[in-house]
Chains A and B, each alone.
Chain A
Amino acid sequence: MNALIRKLVEAWGPSGYEHQVRRLIQEEVADLVDDMRVDALGNLICRVGSGGKRVMVSAHMDEIGVMALFAEPQSGYLRFDPIGGLLNSSLAGNRVRFENGATGVIGVYDSFGRGRTSVPALSDFYIDVSDGNGGAVPAGSPAGFWREFETRGTRIIAKSLDDRIGCVVAIEALRKLKREAPNEVHFVFSVQEEVGLRGARTAAYGIDPELGIALDVTATGDELRNRKMAVALGGGAAIKVHDTGLVVPPAIVSWMENCAREHGIPTQRELLSGGRTDASVIQSARAGVPSGCISIPCRFLHTTSETADIRDVQACIDLLHALLSAPIDL
């Protein structure tokens, strides 16, 4: 599984420009699904099984990044806008990668003065893309952050675990399903989650599901002096109860917890005080869709060293597979 994780987390795909990730996933799932299509906004929608309930499972392909706005006329440094929720405290010295593979390094004003001890505004940052030969990256070019995948024991460390690890959970659950499901399940690999859950909204309208399940990372409560929450790294699949955009219907929480208990899958409850997932827009599609979320606990979100535990990932795969393998009665 680590080879698949590496392939997906290292892929390039800031919001709105997910095509490279989509191609990798298409290749990966081609033999695992009954049919697949790409919708108008670029969501990859894969169906498996028939009968029972029409279920939408959603994991987003996009990652946070930057959009180059213009180059400073004298220096050539690029100014940029954020794509998604950047953490200003972790930008300086980071590398970004453009679609053609060119890399840039982020610099900051007064780096050994104010820039060292305080958190600068986004307008204090710029990107060096000089190649020594006058080459330039044109305005209007998006970039993603760049960092290689690493492991440390059971920990996996990478950029964009948010939410390529959710994509991995979906793909591995598909592999376990072997195209046999008593429900009509639409696996959506969605676009533009990080800029406002835009892809899942249109995918849900198109699928018109009776049940929605998002797969996404969630914060953990075990980072020092961070927002306290019950989720711990290595504590199992996190079953969402509540976040900023969704109150999961209790019947869905019970369904997930009971299923996990039957199959001996470790779980923990997740209540997130700052954040939303695709499930919050699936729930309000068309006439309304009861929706829940299976979350992968993850430390250091939106940095280039997001950290998860492979045992939690396996628990999420096992839980999703178990949920989709039986008739659903909610």
Chain B
Amino acid sequence: MGIDFIIAAIITVVGLATPILLAGLGELVVEKSGVLNLGVEGMMLVGAISGFAVTVYTFNPWFGVLGAAAGGALASLLFGVLVLQLNSNQVATGLALTIFGTGISSLMGLSFTGRIVVPFLSVFPDALAKHEYLQLIFGYSPIVYFALIMVPLTTWFLKSTRAGLILRAVGENDLSAHSIGYSVIKVRYAAIAFGGAMAGIGGCYFSMVITPMWAEKMTAGRGWIALALVVFAGWRTGRLLAGAYFFGILMALELYAKASGFSFLPSQFWAAMPYAMTVVALSFISSRGSAGANAPACLGKPFLPST
């Protein structure tokens, strides 16, 4: 079990963690603004097929990623209009988005079965990207680096910028924010669109990097893990990063256990771990009520100004 083994294992974990990190980061911002969007799985699938389709037609994976972000954002706006303008129930609307996104991506993907694109791998020169040790740093798809950069960027945005402060205020007390003069609706629209774009990019990681092809429902439920991740992280970005990699390790453990012939714990145990751990984390977070590690006070509630 030398260094090579560890490096290869880490690379697999990075691949497993990146999509949920992206979608999770997006959803974290959405929830910080007070909106619960359960449609992550649907948005990821729309992003996956959008990114794939754009890459097929333009032969350019960078456009593909943009296309994925656009697809995810568009899908999220469907949710946004219903929830923000028409005050529809967020839980039901999010679920409808998931079902819709799954169906529409399948429909869009029909003409793409059997096609492949060149995988969107590292843009660094082979000497670095394929180097025995340096590949640990340089061997990843640009999407991975994007995800990692977005973590501190999002943290900075939420903590240190005025816009981020407003967003958090909207999430904690929308009526007060409204009375001070901030447009709750505009802020939430922006957050929702951001969440959609990130979920879309997370989705295209499946269709452009892991297995550069399209298959129906290819995100295989990772959108739900991303939702769990946001809660598990207590709505904090640093914990989200750690949580994404933790979940990634759990997923990899399942496969390594199987491939090594270990059967003392059933594989379903590992597969259930991310969800079970989230429930446990939820209990700790929700009961202690410490500021910052709690759900945004307005999460899931419609914005109903009296004026």
Q: Do A and B bind each other?
A: no
Q: Which residues of B contact A (CB under 8 A)?
A: none
